[in-house]
Amino acid sequence: MSTDTAALTRRGLRLAWLIVVWDLIEGAVAVTAGLAAGSIALVGFGIDSGIEVFAASVVIWQLRGGSQPVRARR
């Protein structure tokens, strides 16, 4: 892996982890506020954050070399 590729991979991992942390906080706050306010829309928005956490987790897995044959083709 070249220096540029390694630096971009580290940057991508930092951003993906930031997304995971942000969406976990966002989801917890939204679900809590939605339950307190009786808002189905707000609870749904909070649950949607879980989908975003899953997507960021896949990015982290891929950047860490989770699927070597796929990574080699990329």
Q: Convert the pLDDT of each residue in 43-56 to its tens digit.
A: 999 999 999 999 99
- pTM score of the predicted model: 0.80
15-17-19-21 Cα dihedral, nearest 10 degrees: -140
Q: What's the average model confidence in pLDDT over 60-71?
A: 77
- Collapse the DSSP code of 70 into the 3-class scheme (helix H, G, I; strand E, B; otherwise coil) and give the result: helix
For Cα atoms 24, 29, 30, give the angle at the middle one, nearest 5 degrees. Answer: 100
Q: What's the average model confidence in pLDDT over 12-32?
A: 97
Q: Fill in the DSSP letter of residue 46.
A: H
Residue type, 54: F
Q: Is residue 56 within 8 Å of residue 16, measured between CB atoms?
A: yes
